[in-house]
């Protein structure tokens, strides 16, 4: 039997015919990179190839690396294997990778979402034979509200805090989620301040995206000027001494995991907004349907449950593969699920969905 076009190895997803890896998690000679998050673009590869918009992102994160960029849809031929990058809609610069060889087409999504967030090039469905999909939120319980509605809630919450003289602290990943919030925050009455990690990444992305003005929080920033403003910071800043400067404040987190009732309580935050840079249940299913694929490989998330659903309910050849990708705060969510009563609720919902289909 011939080898699959893409194989899951100890180092990452490997294309033997071309001798290249896709988003490898161990150092390799040549790596094709879908996007700039740390679990997909790691340090140590000899050569990086990615989309043009992702070049400044991973260069900022990884330092002095050998990296080149190509445009959307541009063909890259390596040993008669044709590669091309297509929008994934996950974060700025994120792409799916299409691989074609001997009339066989595979698509590796990396991470993706189908809703247009206003800062990322919108997701583009690609026809293929085999589709490698993440399923971070691959359960029917996960269904996102439109971004416009969520951001209305965010801005309403910030305005209320402003009226009460409190600083609104929004926790979000420094690459992607933070800029999505910043782009759509209402700055008519409030100024946006940023943690250093968020500020630096936003400045890198200003070359590509028009953002409202942001101000770096420094040692010289006074409590008086911060009062009633908005601060965007990474989740790691929560509970740190850095937070003392903002008293009195209210805290919020923007994540798909805010779907869980216990998530906000466990993180000791005041407010949770359900806003994810990944597909929800419907988005995953619609994306798979749009490819016209017969074969699906599920990765990080609820991959085994999701693959089983695709086999039993959709009639697809679906299997799951383990990777070292983490999705959206996956490790923390798994710990939460071990003790959250919602886990049984989610399993029950999956069973209910199957019965309704019959």
Q: For residue 260, what pLDDT is reported?
A: 84
Q: Looking at residue 317, what DSSP letter applies?
A: E
- Alpha-carbon distance of 223 to 238, in angstroms, equals 18
Strand order from edge to edge, sheet including 230-233: 214-216, 192-194, 230-233, 167-171, 249-254, 271-273
| Phi, psi for 3 (deg, rounded to 5) | -70, 150
Instruction: Report pLDDT for 335.
Output: 31
Note the pLDDT of residue 344. 42
Dist CA 77 CA 303 (whole Å): 31
HSE toward the beta carbon, residue 300, CA cutoff 13 A? 20
CA distance 161 to 248: 10
For 200-355, strand residue ranges (E) read 214-216, 230-233, 249-254, 271-273, 295-301, 317-320
Q: For residue range 211-231, list pLDDT tens digits in order.
A: 999 999 999 999 999 999 999
Cα separation, 155 vs 329, in Å, equals 24
Cα(222)–Cα(250) distance, integer angstroms:
17
- What are the tokens at 225? 């000027």
Q: State whether residue 183 is helix, strand or coil.
A: helix
Domains and CATH numbers, the chain: 6-142+278-350 (3.60.15.10), 147-274 (3.40.50.10890)
pTM (two decimals): 0.91
Instruction: Give the mean pLDDT of 317-338.
Output: 66
Q: How many CA atoms lie within 13 A of 211 on its CB side?
A: 28
Q: Taking a C-beta distance cutoff of 8 angstroms, is the pair 342, 266 a contact? A: no
Q: Would you give the DSSP letter of residue 121?
A: P
Which range (100-104, 136-140, 323-327, 345-349) has the least confidence?
Answer: 345-349
Mean pLDDT of 137-141: 95
pLDDT digits (tens, 9 = 90+) for 79-89: 999 999 999 99
d(CA 127, CA 95): 15
pLDDT at 112 over 70: yes
Look at residue 339 in the predicted model and tell me its pLDDT.
28
At 263, give phi and psi (nearest 5°): -65, -45
Distance CA 189, CA 185 (A): 11
- % of residues, the chain, pLDDT over 90: 87
Cβ-contact 281, 139 below 8 angstroms: yes
Residue 93 pLDDT > 90: yes
Q: Does 332 have pLDDT greater than 70?
A: no
CA dist 2 and 99 (Å) reads: 16
Residue 46 C-alpha from the chain's centroid: 25
């Amino acid at each position: 039997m011939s080898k699959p076009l893409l194989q899951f190895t100890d180092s990452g997803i490997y294309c033997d015919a071309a001798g290249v890896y896709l988003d490898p998690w161990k150092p390799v000679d040549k790596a094709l990179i879908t996007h700039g998050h740390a679990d997909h673009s790691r340090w140590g590869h000899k050569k990086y190839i990615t989309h043009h918009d992702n070049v400044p992102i991973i260069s900022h994160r990884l330092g002095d690396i050998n990296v080149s960029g190509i445009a959307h849809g541009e063909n890259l031929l390596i040993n008669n294997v044709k590669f091309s990058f297509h929008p994934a809609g996950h974060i700025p610069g994120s792409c799916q990778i299409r691989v074609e060889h001997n009339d066989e087409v595979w698509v590796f999504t990396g991470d993706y979402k189908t809703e247009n967030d206003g800062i990322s090039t919108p997701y583009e469905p690609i026809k293929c034979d085999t589709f490698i999909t993440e399923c971070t939120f691959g359960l029917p319980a996960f269904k996102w509200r439109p971004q416009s509605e969520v951001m209305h809630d965010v801005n309403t919450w910030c305005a209320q805090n402003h009226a009460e003289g409190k600083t609104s602290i929004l926790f979000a990943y420094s690459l992607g989620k933070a800029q999505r919030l910043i782009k759509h925050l209402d700055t008519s009455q409030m100024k946006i301040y940023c943690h250093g990690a968020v500020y630096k990444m936003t400045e890198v992305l200003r070359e590509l995206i028009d953002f409202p003005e942001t101000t770096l929080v420094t040692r010289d920033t006074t409590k008086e000027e911060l009062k009633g403003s908005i601060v965007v910071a990474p989740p790691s800043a929560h509970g740190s001494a850095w937070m003392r400067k903002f008293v009195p404040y209210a805290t919020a987190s923007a994540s798909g995991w805010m779907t869980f009732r216990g998530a906000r309580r466990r993180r000791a935050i005041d407010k949770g907004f359900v806003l994810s840079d990944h597909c929800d249940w419907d988005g995953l299913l619609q994306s798979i349907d749009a490819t016209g694929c017969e074969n699906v490989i599920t990765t990080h998330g609820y991959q085994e449950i999701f693959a089983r659903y695709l086999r039993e309910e959709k009639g697809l050849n679906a299997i799951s593969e383990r990777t070292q990708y983490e999705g959206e705060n996956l490790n923390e969510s798994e710990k939460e699920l071990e003790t959250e009563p919602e886990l049984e609720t989610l399993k029950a919902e999956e069973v209910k969905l199957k019965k309704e289909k019959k």
